[in-house]
Structure 1
């Protein structure tokens, strides 16, 4: 997807990420797509799945490394430092070819790469899709938190998806450098209502990373409560992550395999099919930026029930464009699933949500937003 470049002054932009997981490919693809229409040249330094995903993209200059996590704390720290050096060296090779460096998807912890960018007087932006470090408990995470603080203090600008995140993430001291700019847009040719709500089977679903901050354990612990009242329901879980074995163990121990289908990771191309099979999409996260899956579900005519964290309340007006739950305890999730599924105006809520995303998340609007940001940062 691309737009004809206008007369706004363009820049040479380098996006730097820590090697992302598969879940990071959609937000990274969206950002790269936006930048190729709002910049003269786009460079991408990434690794692992991020590198292989872009090898056929002729619109960018791609540089990649391989990162291995390691199976012990010592190896994780050693490999982490090594990856920092590799990325910094790649940036040094192209530093004179770029005007702006955007740190994204783990880029907030790449302090060694920030140093050459600052030394060569490049404009620097850290863009946060989420901030879940406080939910990690190992030694490396404590180191990462310190690195993030250094980054936030040194960069010229910080991009967040919603002003709500300033207070939620305790970013008040950086407010003078914060810009609010969602990078989200949808391809409405793919994400659309294909199966009428009344024709769908009784499936509710979770789509996302199987990790603590996403509230997946809370969600599966709500399933026995849900099935006690609505035993005919089926649950679809799409995703992968560190807690996959925990999820499988809980489902097995509680005899839930017949009602729960665990799909694993799904390609972005297959998501419209799954979303069009659901009667409710549940997002029980402790923390969020602005989840793509929420917008994609809404575009597919799937009601969304979510915790009111991050930018979610900017999008979901309770019982108008979706449903907000007070917290993500299993009891609260179950109670709100019943409320959503039994709501008398569900068809109107679905229609409102489709209209809302079509009005606010077009490719054209997003490109215009970033063109203005990049031209004004000079």
Structure 2
């Protein structure tokens, strides 16, 4: 691990977190990061929020500076707005970051101008990369990599200027093309669960035969692939019903497919599920499916495991660090509808599901604690 020599007392350390754009799915990781940093430093947060996103970010008691960011389906307009957001946040940073010892960039994209501001101010910079914005944007908008060339250039320079890059898993170094920065990459996560409130509310055997997907209805999440797998699953298990919780660009297409295949009696679309209601759904399901093309470390996976709900996921991001096939969950080779269908049936037919659930619950209870996450971030920032 690369050491950052910050010789500050615990009482006087100040951190500035720059995070954008904050979507609904981004809210929990950002809140967790703030709570971790607040335990040993004075925290300021500069965040670009997506307009009308109903983001449930808990930043109470923290000095927060927000900048509105309008989303769009036009990727070129999106890039222009993203660059404008960098300028607006940089202007705030020029004032706010002067009082910080460390600037922590909690984001996926370029953020070159804010990093330059931090460098001019003489601040140490840490970049936490929760997911690959280039992969996600390309998938969501179905565009070629060349269209993202401006962001790729910004991101490459910003990585080079950062003092440290934080990833969720060593596997992400190659997956996200960060091999040239290996000497300043360290592995950590801001994920922790409140095990005082995470209690199994309904025993697995007493649950109805529901299989579910909860997340954004976007291309990179494989949501449509999951819906297209349902007819194949029904051929093997016609007693199943399906819950799809989320919202996104693909909602209309998913609704059309459900009507076309006459699946209305078997599939329920809930819309976006507020984070506080997710436990109700996880305690209903017999299997959660995460068919993503790209991931960081999905919080939903950890919560499902804590609630005794088996998880079937693709082998991307940090997922295989947590899920071992047949031991703590189930891994499928890819997210094609055929592969999803085959593995949903395989998982539900597992002869010792209680043991899989028990090992999964024990793993997250031991690994994803507030104490462990806080100690790791203290290590990263240095001797406080």
C-alpha distance in 1 between matches for 2:275 and 2:152: 30
Q: Does 1:358 align with 2:365?
A: yes
Change (3 A) 1:56 1:165: closer
Counterpart residue number, 1:218: 225
Query: Which residue is equivalent to 2:272?
Result: 265
Q: Provide the aligned C-alpha RMSD in A.
A: 2.0
Which of residues 162, 180, 188 in structure 2 aligns to 1:155? 162
Shift of 1:21: 1.1
CA contact (8 A) 1:200 1:278 kept: yes
2:378 corresponds to: 371
Give distance in 1, aligned partners of 2:229 and 2:73.
32
Match status 1:48 vs 2:49: yes
Unaligned regions of 5+ residues in structure 1, if any?
1-6
C-alpha deviation, 1:71, in angstroms: 6.2
* Distance (whole Å) between structure 2 residues aligned to residue 277 and residue 236 of structure 1: 10
- Aligned partner of 1:3 in structure 2 is none
- Deviation, structure 1 residue 51: 10
The corresponding residue for 1:37 is: 39
2:122 aligned with 1:115, yes or no? no
**Pair 1:54–1:228, CA change in 2 (3 A):** closer
Report what 1:62 is aligned to.
64
State how 1:1-378 maps to structure 2 within 5 Å: 11-39=13-41, 41-48=42-49, 53=56, 57-58=60-61, 60-70=62-72, 72=74, 75-106=77-108, 108-135=109-136, 136=138, 137=143, 141-376=148-383
Once structures 1 and 2 are overlaid, which stretch shifts more, 61-70 or 272-281?
61-70
Comparing 88-97 and 46-55, the one that deviates more: 46-55
State the alpha-carbon separation in 1 of the partners of residues 171 and 193 from structure 2: 22
Is residue 27–residue 57 contact of structure 2 (8 Å, CA) maintained in 1?
A: no
Pairwise CA distance, 1:82: 2.1
CA contact 1:190–1:272 (8 Å) conserved in 2: no
Cα distance in 2 for residues equivalent to 1:52 and 1:304 = 25
Contact 1:76 1:140 in 2 (8 A): no
Secondary structure of the corresponding residue to residue 219 of structure 1: helix
> Structure 1 residues 316 and 10 mapped into 2: Cα distance closer, same or farther (>3 Å)?
farther
- Paired with 2:20 and 2:115, the residues of 1 have a C-alpha distance of 13
Provide Cα deviations, 1:73-105, integer angstroms capped at 9, x if missing partner.
554344333211110000001121001111113
C-alpha change, 1:203 and 1:110, in structure 2 (3 Å) is same
> What is the CA–CA distance in structure 1 between the aligned matches of 2:337 and 2:171, rounded to whole Å?
25
Q: Structure 2: give runs of 5+ residues left out of the alignment.
A: 1-8
Structure 1 stretches of at least 4 aligned residues deviating more than 6 Å after TM superposition: none
CA gap of 1:189–1:282, structure 2 versus 1, over 3 A, is same
Q: CA deviation at 1:38?
A: 2.6
Take 1:25 and 1:95, find their aligned partners in 2: how far apart are those partners? Answer: 22
Report if aligned partners of 2:210, 2:241 keep a CA contact under 8 Å in 1.
yes
In structure 2, distance between residues paired with 1:261 and 1:71: 26
CA contact (8 A) 1:132 1:287 kept: no
Partner of 1:126, secondary structure, is: strand
Secondary structure of the residue aligned to 2:194 is coil
Question: How far does residue 19 in structure 1 lie from its aligned partner after superposition?
Answer: 2.6
- What SS does the corresponding residue of 1:308 show, helix, strand or coil? coil
Q: Relative to structure 1, is the Cα distance of residues 270 and 55 closer, same or farther in structure 2, using a 3 angstrom cutoff?
A: closer
By how many angstroms is 1:191 displaced?
2.5
Between 1:67-76 and 1:253-262, the stretch displaced more is 67-76
- The alignment's TM-score, normalised by the length of structure 2, stands at 0.91
**Do the aligned partners of 1:276 and 1:302 also contact (CA within 8 Å) in 2?**
yes
Where does residue 4 of structure 1 map in the other structure?
none
